[in-house]
Structure 1
Amino acid sequence: MRVDEQDDERELEGSEAAAGRLARVLSPEAIDALVSDAKESGMGLDGAGGLLGQMMKAVLERALQVEMADHLGYEAGDRAGRGSGNHRNGVYPKTVTTTAGPVTVDVPRDRNSAFTPVIVPKGRRRLGQVDEMILSLYARGMSTRDITAHLAEVYGATVSPGLVSKVTDVITDEVQAWQNRPVDETYPILYIDAVRVRIRDGGHVVNKAAHLVIGVDVDGIKNVLGIWIEDNEGAKFWLHVLTQLKNRGLRDALIVCCDGLKGLPEAIEAVWPQAITQTCVVHLIRAAMRFSSSTDRKKVAAALKPVYTAVDETGALEALEAVREEWGQKYPGLIATFENAWDRFIPFLDFDQDIRRVIYTTNAIESMNRNLRKLIKTSGHFPSDTAAMKMLYLGIRNIEGRHIDGDGHVPTGRVRGTGTLGWTAAMNQFKIRFGDRLPL
């Protein structure tokens, strides 16, 4: 047997032995005995001084002692420590906030003051899980004061709104890195959409648009490529956004789906001249349906279907004329909506049914926007663009536990982006139509 095989075998035996010891410690009998003893002594299970807190204290203190032994190179009481030049020098109390509530632990120190604990770092009053909890609550739309109240009520932890704000500020660097990360060279589909956010600006609360660019890569995976907050849209703004994406590596987009954003088609043509700009069909239908009454909505929807399912532009025009004859006099805005968007709508009719299906079906994007709007509504308004960006980023990261980086790094419990139903059939059509522009 080779040496590396022997090492692997020893490592496996060690992990199995550790698992066996852990199973004995966490056996039903051992847990029942702990719970029974806690009840007899009048100790609660959670909260300050509860069983979970005491167990947390014991585990942390033992881990700190192990760290100290590793730092000094010998166990407590071992003669090997004599004359080593450094030794244990008592302990000092430190209260840390944990998911089991505040826990006071005895942190060991050494004579040379060279010991730097890892599990309870110097200067830290919260364990990592608490920071993650704060970020999770913030990502669900809770304000800093709401989070402070929640931690006090549930965990008995005293955390100021200012401290909560500092914890969420840690995410700022992550947001910046995410916003500037490299992206793929080619995306078959880009979706550009916006959600409205209320932000304090110059002493007044104003409405701004948070624009999301979502890319569907060659594997059919949807990823948010970035967020841009702006109160005034126009060709100059969109040229800045698309140029930034191009500088991050996005050299070509086959189809860009958007919804009548001012100046965007011109910017797309300037940055990606070969891209097809397509009005979002779902948004177009919804915009048109706003002109019909609730009593006629089902009939109008049925009448519009032949327009966007037509074989070609000629068939779509004939279907639109039929809608005009039936509903044009009663709902002129219905017809005008389609006519005003016609030039950006008809590229859709030139696609194969498999491509039409993946462009039309935007459920994942609609679901994301719906969840983000709910977060925004819960939050009310934001003190700055940066605060709004943090909330949107955390909200996107948190939605359905999906990872949004698209860089192959997938944290435990998350998946990389969202798949696209029917993508294989669509990709075959993309290869036929845009083969020379797609990566091999």
Structure 2
Amino acid sequence: MTNENEFDFEAFKQAAIKGLYEGKPLTGENGLFAPLLKHFLESALEGEMDGHLAQTRLPEQNRRNGKTTKQVKSSAGPLELQTPRDRTGSYQPQIVPKRQVILTPQLEQKVLSLYGVGNSYADISKHLLEMYGYSLSDSELTAITDKVIPAMREWQNRPLESLYTLVWLDGIYYKVRHDGKVVTRVLYSVIGLSLAGKKQVLGIYTAESESAKFWLTVLTDLKQRGVEDLLISCVDGLKGFDTAIASVFPTTTVQLCIVHQLRNSFRFVPDKYLKDLANDLKTVYQASNREQGLENLLVVQEKWGSAYPKAVQPWLEKWELLSPFFDYPPAIRKAMYTTNTVEGYHRQLRKVTKTKGAFSSDVALQKLVYLVIQNLQIKWETTTYNWKEIINQFSIIFEERIKSHRFE
């Protein structure tokens, strides 16, 4: 190693001691340890080059060829590192690889954690500046968050269980930049309830609009990943949705979401009447059986139908798909007509995405949602409330379909 690279430890020690008395920080911007870390890293790079040349050099075919300089972020603050080059370009730095601009994996994890709970790049950069004495540009932060993409792809294609007792299929709308314009995109989510009583997000998908045709591709993807049967599916009121499900999982019971139907009805009624209408409709879906539910719906139609036909008529038109939950015991019935699972999931998504405005791409949207799901899945490790009663009822009603699948 040449003299210009030799490090004067005595001078460093004296300067560090002097700096401590002057109140200078050990790390961060202009930290006292920065020169020492720079020396260690550049010495390691020189050692790597020596080893590389010893292994690869044929007579005069490869030798040193100057150095390149790049800025990196470290726990000791920003550093300007000089990396040696060889003539053939075959040397690949190991301790600080090419294009790496951050030295601490812990910092990358910190960035991902902050991003995964909804912090913007500006928020993250401000936090890093306060905590570590330096910030990162949007492009550097994007490079870090993009590191989750391979894990996300693997998760999206992972094998699934062969049977799910309940699945919820729903979409939520976001703004995404596409070809220089801001467009509306739908993020589709599929949530499944396993035989072990645990909820899982089975997959996330994006498309231009919510359609039965696209849901057909989603359901086909689930089947290709190992799902053989879905006992009950809870979906919104999209036209043709039931046909799409039947074409892939023909024995699945399709239940239209009661909450979606209620919301659609409330859109057509003045606020001062909403409480009364909600109470009247409650007599429909909380009736003791299907016949009583239909009788109560006819009473609601008589009371509200003439003034607000669009609020009531869809219930009659869709009654065959709104009423299947009456065929099941109360514990299963409640899980079918309530959407606490989906609503809670969407609430978590909105919590971290509400400040994002328009996403730069579908992938940018998906990687944030993926990080949210990883955090949410920790909470979902607990078994669903009242699961023993629910699974006992499932086992009786769907005995033949369940017994051929793994039961934990």
* TM-score grouping bracket, smaller chain normalisation: 0.7 to 0.9
Give the Cα–Cα distance (whole angstroms) in 2 for the partners of residues 188 and 121 of structure 1: 49
Change (3 A) 1:262 1:333: closer
Q: Between the two proteins, what is the percent identity of the paired residues?
A: 37
| Equivalent residue for 2:23, pick from 32, 35, 42 | 42
CA contact (8 A) 1:258 1:280 kept: yes
Cα distance change on mapping 1:39 and 1:300 into 2, 3 Å: farther
Query: Residue 262 and residue 387 in structure 1: after superposition, are their counterparts in 2 closer, same or farther (change >3 A)?
Result: farther
Amino acid of the structure 2 residue aligned with 1:437: R
Question: By how many angstroms is 1:217 displaced?
Answer: 0.3
1:437 to 379, 385, 401: 401
Which residue of the other structure, out of 249, 270, 274, is the alignment partner of 2:251? 274
Q: 1:147 Cα deviation (Å)?
A: 3.2
Measured in 1, the distance between the counterparts of 2:312 and 2:145 equals: 48
2:295 corresponds to 1:321: no
Matched, 1:356 2:320: no
TM-score, normalised to structure 1, is 0.71
Cα distance change of structure 1 residues 380 and 106 upon mapping to structure 2, 3 Å threshold: closer
* 1:173 Cα deviation from its structure 2 partner: 0.9
Conservation of the 8 A alpha-carbon contact between 2:33 and 2:76: no
> How does 1:15-414 map onto structure 2 within 5 Å?
42-43=23-24, 47-48=28-29, 97-98=73-74, 102=77, 122-123=97-98, 124-126=100-102, 127-397=104-374, 401-403=375-377, 414=378
Distance in 1, matches of 2:76 and 2:134, equals 6
Query: 2:130, 2:264 → 1: CA distance?
Result: 45
Structure 1 partner of 2:58? none
Distance 2:211 2:277 in 1: 33
What letter corresponds to residue 312 of structure 2 in structure 1?
I
Q: CA deviation at 1:245?
A: 0.5
Alpha-carbon contact 1:97-1:130 (below 8 Å) kept: no
The residue number in structure 2 matching 1:420 is 384
Native 8 Å contact 2:171 2:210 kept in 1: no
Structure 2 portions without partners, runs of 5+:
1-18, 48-68, 83-91
Quick check: 1:139–1:391 contact (8 Å CA) kept in 2?
yes
Whether the aligned pair in 1 keeps the contact of 2:28 and 2:134 (CA below 8 Å) is: no
Q: Aligned with 1:373: secondary structure?
A: helix
Contact 1:198 1:206 in 2 (8 A): yes
CA displacement 1:90-123 (0-9 Å, x = unmatched): xxx998645x66277999xxxxxxxx999x6555
Q: 1:155 to 1:337 in 2, by over 3 A?
A: farther
Letter in 1 for 2:23: G
Alpha-carbon deviation of 1:418?
A: 5.2
Q: Residue 385 of structure 1 aligns to which amino acid in structure 2?
A: D
Q: Using the alignment, how far apart are the partners of 2:271 and 2:211 within structure 1?
A: 34
1:215 touches 1:225 (CA, 8 Å); kept in 2? yes
Give aligned pairs, total. Answer: 356
Per-residue deviation at 1:271? Answer: 0.6
1:56-80 CA-to-partner distances (Å, cap 9, x unmatched) read x89xx8xx99xx9xxxxxxxxxxxx
Does the 8 Å contact 1:101/1:157 carry over to 2?
A: no
User: How far does residue 264 in structure 1 lie from its aligned partner after superposition?
Assistant: 2.2
**Aligned mates of 2:359, 2:389 — CA distance in 1:** 43
C-alpha displacement of 1:427: 0.9
Q: What TM-score does the superposition give when structure 2 sets the normalisation length?
A: 0.76
Rate the CA distance shift 1:106–1:228 in 2: closer, same or farther, 3 A.
Answer: closer
**Matched residue SS, 1:214:** strand
Distance of 2:70 and 2:137 partners within structure 1: 18
CA distance in 1, matches of 2:355, 2:76: 27
